[in-house]
């Protein structure tokens, strides 16, 4: 089989070399797309189609794979996604073509969970503002911080990451509420309830949903108005789940207190006039939730485990 890497998955080079040697020993090839081996701007649809034209399998992380490129890839049978979400893959085309798609679900669970905890603590203690005051030669500000213990945490989406977040916050003395479309068995969740109830009751709301037609724009102006004026919102899942304009309005009006956002309607860098960049009471990071060395190492192993499983006729982590 001819396997093509469409994107750098930030794996250690010795690991890639080891995998390539093992694949070649079995009669397979592992090559890089031509645009990866030269100083090249972001690949075009033509570039990606050219890379896929003789490929039986492709490895990609979070780069958008155009439907046209997949349609033209007559030999393509497998797309190995070194990422959790697959909204950047043309799943309809893959289903039509019987192309198997696997993902690396779970690789970033610990990393995202730790970032969510960091967000919560930083906002409760006003770390960003207090650092600015100190650098400006000032003493601590007039607003007192808050402890995490005793707070009610609302988890919107109790999948792998949502349950991991529940475990951490529950261990730190929080009451944990969760909204999930199906019933979840998790000892760290004190109560599973409807979305509106989670929003009304929670001191901190943290979102952990995939992006789908049903979740896009789910947290809109109406939902934000349900939250406490002292509440904090965290989104380290997918940007379009939260209506950005509604969030900016809620923060400026004081409808909610603060928001920490790692994901946006487009991938960073953001345009200079992006509303959130100029919005008060925000803690913003450029999609770093998954970006730890440990997560990168784990996803490389999951990605190649998926490849070997597919080559062996028993694909794993298949996305429907």
Q: What residues are annotated to the active site? A: 238, 267, 287
Q: 174, 153 in Cβ contact below 8 A?
A: yes
Report the distance separating Cα 232 and Cα 230, nearest Å. Answer: 7
CA-nearest of 179, 121, 176 to 146 is 121
Copy the structure tokens of residue 117.
């905890």
The CA-based diameter of the chain, rounded to the nearest angstrom, is 68
Contacts of 70 (CB under 8 A, 6+ apart): 52, 76, 79, 90, 93, 94, 97, 99
Residue length of the chain: 320
CA of 305: how far to CAs of 7, 105, 239, in Å?
17, 12, 29
Residue found under tokens 């696997």: 102
Decide: helix, strand or coil at residue 293: helix
CA of 25: how far to CAs of 22, 30, 202, in Å?
5, 11, 55
Residue found under tokens 């770390």: 127
- Residue 50 burial class via C-beta count within 10 angstroms: exposed 0-12, middle 13-18, buried 19 and up: middle
């Amino acid at each position: 089989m001819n396997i093509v890497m469409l994107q750098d998955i930030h794996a250690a080079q010795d690991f890639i070399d080891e995998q390539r040697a093992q694949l070649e020993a079995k009669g397979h090839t592992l090559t890089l797309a031509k645009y990866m081996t030269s100083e090249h701007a972001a690949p075009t649809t033509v570039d990606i189609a050219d890379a896929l034209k003789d490929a039986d399998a492709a490895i990609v992380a979070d780069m958008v794979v155009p439907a046209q490129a997949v349609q033209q890839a007559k030999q393509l049978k497998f797309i190995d996604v070194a990422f959790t979400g697959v909204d950047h893959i043309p799943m309809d085309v893959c289903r039509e073509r019987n192309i198997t798609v696997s993902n690396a679900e779970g690789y970033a669970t610990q990393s995202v969970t730790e970032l969510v905890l960091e967000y919560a603590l930083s906002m409760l203690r006003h770390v960003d503002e207090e650092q600015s005051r100190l650098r400006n030669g000032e003493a601590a500000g007039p607003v007192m911080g808050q402890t995490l213990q005793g707070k009610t945490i609302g988890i919107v989406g109790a999948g792998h990451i949502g349950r991991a977040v529940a475990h951490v916050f529950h261990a730190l003395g929080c009451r944990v509420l969760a909204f999930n479309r199906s019933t979840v068995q998790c000892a760290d969740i004190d109560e599973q309830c409807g979305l509106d109830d989670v929003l009304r009751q929670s001191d901190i709301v943290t979102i952990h949903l995939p992006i789908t037609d049903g979740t896009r724009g789910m947290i809109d102006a109406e939902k934000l108005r349900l939250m406490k004026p002292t509440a904090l919102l965290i989104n380290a899942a997918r940007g379009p789940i939260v209506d950005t304009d509604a969030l900016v309005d809620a923060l400026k009006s004081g409808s909610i207190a603060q928001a920490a956002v790692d994901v946006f309607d487009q991938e960073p860098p953001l345009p200079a006039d992006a509303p959130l960049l100029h919005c008060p009471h925000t803690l913003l990071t450029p999609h770093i939730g998954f970006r730890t060395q440990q997560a990168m190492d784990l996803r490389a192993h999951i990605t190649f485990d998926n490849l070997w499983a597919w080559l062996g006729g028993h694909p794993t982590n298949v996305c429907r």
